Chain A
Amino acid sequence: DTEVTQTPKHLVMGMTNKKSLKCEQHMGHRAMYWYKQKAKKPPELMFVYSYEKLSINESVPSRFSPECPNSSLLNLHLHALQPEDSALYLCASSQARRVGTEAFFGQGTRLTVV
């Protein structure tokens, strides 16, 4: 099973809403990632969790709040977003801190902020 499952697939939210994106994997991976991808651009790293601890935060605004409740789950809590935050949000997982490991991506959540 090399599947990373993200829910919801699509989300439309207002600028005053609070919502959460969810990600789940059962590959035993101990590194999980949130990436953001705008149209015609490559995925850009937002956060990395390693062994359920936040290890990288790429200067992401505080209106994005990650959470890793256990080794299989990763959430991204959204609050007071701006229209420019509309993008495809990708979750990924990999074996933690090993040479020669690939990241497996979910299908993404297409977020539209209105």
Chain B
Amino acid sequence: DQQVKQNSPSLSVQEGRISILNCDYTNSMFDYFLWYKKYPAEGPTFLISISSIKDKNEDGRFTVFLNKSAKHLSLHIVPSQPGDSAVYFCAASELGGQNFVFGPGTRLSVLP
């Protein structure tokens, strides 16, 4: 049973537009959420995170929104750039937990 879901396997966006990647989770004990970016044959690179006590966190072009009641978070990238093309993983962890549970990933393609 997947605890972290990313229902869109892929997403294509025009350069300069907004990319919105979605993530849903089922475990109500999760209280810290992260987004990672991954290129082929490389390890995931940490992008941005959000604690359950917040509903928004912004870092440059990247903003993560958390809707705790809906168990939903999203990553907004604006403006999107061709270098953003990669697989994006949503991950979650529990308070004091020692595991990061990953979603299946969404492949983002930013078209020039």
Chain A positions near chain B (C-beta within 8 angstroms): 4, 6, 31, 33, 41-45, 48, 50, 55-56, 88, 90, 92, 96-97, 99-108, 110
Contact = CB atoms under 8 A, between A and B. Distances in A.
Interface stretch (B14-22, B61-69, B75-83, B94-102): B94-102
B104 to A, nearest CB: 5
Interface in B72-112: 89, 95-96, 98-105
14 contacts: A31-B98, A42-B102, A42-B103, A43-B44, A45-B99, A45-B100, A48-B99, A56-B98, A90-B44, A99-B51, A100-B49, A101-B32, A102-B34, A102-B46
B1 interface: no
B44 A100 contact: no
A103 B46 contact: yes
B41 interface: yes
A75 B63 CA distance: 36
Nearest to A104: B46
Nearest to B39: A107
A96 B93 CA distance: 13
B42 interface: yes
Contact of A102 (B49, B89, B99): B49
A99 B43 contact: no
Given A101-B32, A107-B43, 15 more contacts: A4-B43, A31-B98, A41-B104, A42-B89, A45-B101, A56-B98, A90-B43, A99-B32, A99-B51, A102-B46, A103-B34, A105-B43, A105-B46, A108-B42, A108-B43
